[in-house]
Amino acid sequence: MQSSCSSEIAGEKGFRRCSWLLRSLPGLSSACPVLEFAADFPPTGQRSVICVTSVIGHLFQLEFDGRLPQQLAQIYEAPVVKTFTDSARKARVADHLQELAQGSSQLCLWLDADREGENIGFEVIAVCKEWFPDNSNVHRAIFSALTREEVAASFKALGRPDMAVAQGVDARQELDLRVGISFSTLLTRQLKDTRLGSVQRGVTRSITYGPCQTPALGFCVQRQRDIDSFQPQKLWTSQVELRHRQGGSLKLVWKEGRTDNEKQAAAMKQTFLRNRVARVKSSSSSSEVLHRPTGLNTVQLLRSASNALNLGPKQAMKVAEDLYSAGIISYPRTETTRYHETFDAEASLRPLSRHPALGRAAVRALGAWRSLAGKAQSYRARDVGDHPPIVPLRVAASEELRSGAAKRLYDFVCRHFLASWLGDVQLERREACFSIGDFDFEVVLRRLPRDRGWLQAMPWRIDELCLEDGTKRLDCLEQLVNQGTADISNWNLEESWTAPPLPLTEAELVDLMDRNGIGTDASIPQHIQTIQDRGYVQLCDGSGAPIEVMKVGAFGRKRGRPSQRPKAPGRYLVPTERGMALVRGLSHLDASLCEPEVRALIERECAMVARAELLQAEVLKRNVDLFRGKFQHVQHSIHELRTFFQAPGGSRQRNARLKGEANRKNRSRRQKRFASEA
């Protein structure tokens, strides 16, 4: 665990109130503080002196034993060994743990309750193997929040570490090492002297391939291909404005939406010129339910952070982890969106009732939770058996949220949690269809009820969903329907051109990677950051201007010179020439290298290893053989790949305007507007 987490577990949120003494002790590693207290240890049933310390991430990294083979294809058979990471070696973490192990009779692991945490736990066991040789006195605590209740419950229900879970991580690490080193070394050696392979300012020297990062880049390149191959088409859209006798008016849109048939558009214009009255064709009233959101998982958090909070995935994850370490929110890495039947929502809702801005919504959510309807969760929620959804644990003081990013993310987590427990919204839906000659025009209005349910916590969604907050337009529609006919006060027939799709946003890429099984909820942010660091994509705003990515400190505080504000909203990942050349070249040789299916299969098989459904050796052999064949094919055809990196640039500068009138003008697209008033 991190040092801040160890302090939380031993301190006020852990065992301070049930222990004889809590004191700080010196240790060999200044990065890993030691706290000592006395308490009953459940496995032995005896009062014991307990020392709590921490690690700083993985202790070991996987490396090749010795120098790389001269023949790169031999990398797939070369022996690998685990060595201490640079950070663990500098901080003397292993010596620190061994010193504590010498005087201990039991080892209890409080690492994060996910695959990476389990793998780090077995690294700790390996370091302390001399004093705990058979694992009979090694225990595992499973927890998802740094609250007193959660820590105490985990302490009373200690289990055993699961070797299969750790082996699933080991299998993925070894495959990534062999595949990444072999392909990246080949590409860097063979392409560094090409036009696109040479070192550019702000771009790393290496030309790398990764089983996750390259399929992620492939999604961005495929969208750019769609943009480049887009052929604009002329189309027409229309709307009319109807006025009733009392003076009110309402706009309606053509029921078919739009047409690319010029004759049909001309016929519609003649219909407008000949007809000054619209007749009611049909009308109806019904109810519509806006279902509350599910519990918040990691992918939803990353997607919303990019779309609404202007936070990149890596920055958002860093802020969420800091909030978790401070005991402000629960564990931020989870795929589950359904609260467990034993989840005590009141423990999180009651503190929020004292929140200065969200207190009223929290009181209503608490009432909904206590009712039968409140306990019935969204039908879309799912439980995949890992951590519970992300929830706030307490009201954070303003001085604890030390950056704008932390404040925005914490506020969103709180609002999403409240919305997931407030009631569904029952809308009044009113729609009508009017005919003008042979053309039908419709209007659909959805009115908010007095009880706004989950929209109380997310009021911005009212405008996004185009909901009616008053009765003015509904009353106008009712009068028009009762009249049977209505005067056409205005109409327009707009000629325009279809617009190309936009580059992928960060949020869209997160969603694509999640749906296609590329990476995990913990690794997706890093893969997106990697393709930016390698110079394969450029992060741009809605105007096409590059967004400067700064280093992020604790709680999302940015370090270095302040960056310019985006000229337009949006966070788009635009492929560079280098990124396009890499994907096009590899796809030319073996399309599967840039597609998600192979990586998704590896992720599934590693998950099966973690569930003890497959053997680690079996998965390694099958996938090593698969990628060895792919590597040898690329190696023999490297001259073909070089042609993609030598190609002239052409129209590679893709930071053009992304949207709106400027986009159409830059592409010389005419717009005409025909309007007439009756």
- Asked whether residue 665 is assigned to any structural domain, the reply reads no
User: Are 171 and 123 within one domain?
Assistant: no
Cα–Cα separations (whole angstroms), residue 451 to 447, 462, 465, 612 = 11, 13, 17, 49
> Where is mean pLDDT largest: 143-157, 171-185, 336-350?
171-185
Q: CA quadruple 511, 512, 517, 523: dihedral positive or negative?
A: negative
The percent of residues in the chain predicted with pLDDT above 90, rounded, is 57
Domain boundary among 372, 396, 421: 421
Helix, strand, or coil (residue 52): strand
**Neighbour tally for 496: CB within 10 Å:** 18
Q: Choose the weakest-confidence range: 345-349, 560-564, 632-636.
A: 560-564
**To 10 degrees, the CA torsion angle through 370, 373, 374, 379?**
150
pLDDT band at 125, cuts 50/70/90? very high
pLDDT band at 574, cuts 50/70/90? very high
For residues 22 and 24, the model is more confident at: 24
Give the model's pLDDT for residue 665.
Answer: 39
- Asked whether residue 676 is assigned to any structural domain, the reply reads no
Q: Locate tokens 């008033």: which residue?
A: 677
The whole-angstrom distance between residue 669's C-alpha and the CA centroid of its chain comes to 36
Straight-line distance from the first to the last Cα atom of the chain, in angstroms, rounded to the nearest whole number: 73
For residues 12 and 253, the model is more confident at: 253
**To 10 degrees, the CA torsion angle through 631, 635, 638, 640?**
-70
For residues 199 and 584, the model is more confident at: 584
Identity (one letter) of the amino acid at 485?
T
**To 10 degrees, the CA torsion angle through 315, 320, 325, 326?**
110
Residue 671: which of 495, 499, 491 has the closest Cα? 495
CB 467 within 8 A of CB 536: no
Mean pLDDT for the stretch of residues 531-553: 83
pLDDT band at 325, cuts 50/70/90? confident
User: Are 58 and 29 within one domain?
Assistant: yes
User: Are 489 and 366 within one domain?
Assistant: no
Give the model's pLDDT for residue 195.
Answer: 87
Domain boundary among 476, 497, 518: 497
Distance CA 29, CA 95 (A): 8
User: Are 607 and 624 within one domain?
Assistant: yes
User: Are 308 and 370 within one domain?
Assistant: yes
Q: Choose the weakest-confidence range: 139-143, 325-329, 403-407, 566-570.
A: 566-570
> Can you read off the two tokens belonging to residue 601?
């299969």
Domain boundary among 395, 421, 447: 421
Mean pLDDT for the stretch of residues 186-206: 79
- Asked whether residue 672 is assigned to any structural domain, the reply reads no
> Can you read off the two tokens belonging to residue 333?
């890495």
Distance CA 639, CA 206 (A): 18
> Can you read off the two tokens belonging to residue 87?
């950070």
Distance CA 317, CA 311 (A): 9
Give the domain CATH number at 189: 1.10.460.10
Cα–Cα separations (whole angstroms), residue 294 to 70, 338, 512 = 53, 7, 19
Indicate if the pLDDT at residue 676 is higher than 50.
no
Secondary structure in 3-state letters for 431-465 = EEEEEECCEEEEEEEEECCCCCHHHHCCCCHHHHC
Give the domain CATH number at 72: 3.40.50.140
> Where is mean pLDDT largest: 156-165, 355-364, 470-479?
156-165
- Asked whether residue 675 is assigned to any structural domain, the reply reads no
Q: 179 φ, ψ to 5°?
A: -70, -45
Question: Exposed (0-12), middle (13-18) or buried (19+): which is 184, by Cβ within 10 Å?
Answer: middle
**Neighbour tally for 650: CB within 10 Å:** 7
Indicate if the pLDDT at residue 582 is higher than 90.
yes
**Neighbour tally for 395: CB within 10 Å:** 18
Catalytic residues: 331
Q: Which residues 6+ apart lie within 8 Å of 506 measured at CB?
A: 302, 306, 312, 313, 528, 539, 571, 573
Helices (H), 261-391: 262-274, 298-308, 313-325, 345-352, 359-370, 372-375
**Neighbour tally for 573: CB within 10 Å:** 25
Q: Which residues 6+ apart lie within 8 Å of 597 measured at CB?
A: none
| Radius of gyration from C-alpha coordinates of the chain | 30
Distance CA 162, CA 523 (A): 21
pLDDT band at 678, cuts 50/70/90? very low
What are the contacts of 184-193 at 24+ separation with CB within 8 A?
184/208, 184/209, 184/210, 185/68, 185/72, 185/75, 186/72, 186/631, 186/634, 186/635, 186/638, 187/582, 187/641, 190/638, 190/641, 190/642, 191/641, 191/642, 191/645
Q: Which residues 6+ apart lie within 8 Å of 579 measured at CB?
A: 217, 220, 221, 531, 535, 536, 537
512, β-bridge pairs: none
Distance CA 500, CA 663 (A): 10
Secondary structure in 3-state letters for 180-211 = HHHHHHHHHHHHCCCCCCCCCCCCCCCCCCCC
Give the model's pLDDT for residue 445.
Answer: 94
Indicate if the pLDDT at residue 202 is higher than 70.
no
User: Are 120 and 157 within one domain?
Assistant: yes
Q: Count of H helices and E strands in the chain?
A: 23, 18
User: Are 484 and 564 within one domain?
Assistant: no
CB 175 within 8 A of CB 122: no
Give the model's pLDDT for residue 381.
Answer: 86
Sequence length of the chain is: 678
Q: Choose the weakest-confidence range: 29-43, 143-157, 412-426.
A: 143-157
- Asked whether residue 540 is assigned to any structural domain, the reply reads yes
Q: How high is the mean pLDDT of the chain?
A: 85
Give the model's pLDDT for residue 551.
Answer: 56
- Residue 461 belongs to what domain range? 234-291+426-497
Give the domain CATH number at 287: 2.70.20.10
Helix, strand, or coil (residue 78): coil
Q: pLDDT by residue (tens digit) across 634-674?
A: 999 999 999 999 866 543 444 444 444 334 433 443 333 32
Cα–Cα separations (whole angstroms), residue 400 to 88, 327, 416 = 29, 11, 20
User: Are 26 and 132 within one domain?
Assistant: yes
Mean pLDDT for the stretch of residues 447-461: 91
Helix, strand, or coil (residue 387): coil
pLDDT band at 184, cuts 50/70/90? very high
User: Are 95 and 209 within one domain?
Assistant: no
Q: Which residues 6+ apart lie within 8 Å of 417 measured at CB?
A: 295, 296, 348, 352, 389, 390, 391, 392
Indicate if the pLDDT at residue 41 is higher than 50.
yes
- Asked whether residue 669 is assigned to any structural domain, the reply reads no
> Can you read off the two tokens belonging to residue 291?
């279902």
User: Are 144 and 282 within one domain?
Assistant: no
User: Are 18 and 138 within one domain?
Assistant: yes
User: Are 537 and 650 within one domain?
Assistant: yes
CB 422 within 8 A of CB 454: yes
Give the model's pLDDT for residue 29.
Answer: 84
For residues 315 and 555, the model is more confident at: 315
Give the model's pLDDT for residue 7.
Answer: 55
- Asked whether residue 344 is assigned to any structural domain, the reply reads yes
Q: How many domains in the chain?
A: 4
Identity (one letter) of the amino acid at 545?
A
CB 578 within 8 A of CB 535: yes
Q: Locate tokens 């016929």: which residue?
A: 267
- Asked whether residue 666 is assigned to any structural domain, the reply reads no
> Can you read off the two tokens belonging to residue 325?
């370490």
Mean pLDDT for the stretch of residues 264-273: 93
Q: 534 φ, ψ to 5°?
A: -80, -5
Percentages helix, strand, coil for the chain (3-state, rounded to 5) are 45, 20, 40
Give the model's pLDDT for residue 204.
Answer: 65
CB 271 within 8 A of CB 437: yes
The whole-angstrom distance between residue 30's C-alpha and the CA centroid of its chain comes to 34
Give the domain CATH number at 416: 1.10.290.10
